[in-house]
Amino acid sequence: MKTKIAERTAQQGDVILRRVESMPAGSQKTLATKRLVVAHGESGHSHVIEDDEAELIQIGERMLLKLSRQAAITHEEHKPITLSPGIWEVGRVTEYDWFAKMPRRVTD
């Protein structure tokens, strides 16, 4: 079975990843290298990328992955997803609660 490689967007549970053309302007803060915990789930499991050349960077409120080569994001409850090299913006899936009339973050 051939592994599909995400080129533009990917979603793993409550984490959504969107490739961006270049690193956005602003002051960069490196949050992690080599073992990147992209998000913690409610179940105690985490969305993780393990790669010696990968970086997790924060610019303002934005969190970005910098991948110099293909890397897999893993989670105990989901299939791994292979991401192509480049800059990926990390987001969380949200839903709209029509009764409360407000958006809320989906938890995994």
For 52-66, write each residue's pLDDT tens digit. Answer: 999 999 999 999 999
For the whole model, what pTM was predicted?
0.84
Q: Is the backbone of residue 13 left (phi > 0), alpha (psi -120 to 50) or beta?
A: left
Decide: 9 and 19 in contact? Cβ < 8 Å: yes
Q: Taking all residues of the chain, what is their mean pLDDT, rounded to a whole number?
A: 88
Q: What is the mean pLDDT of residues 68-89?
A: 94
Query: 1 versus 47: which is more confidently predicted?
Result: 47
Measured in whole angstroms, the distance separating CA 47 from the mean position of its chain's CA atoms is 8
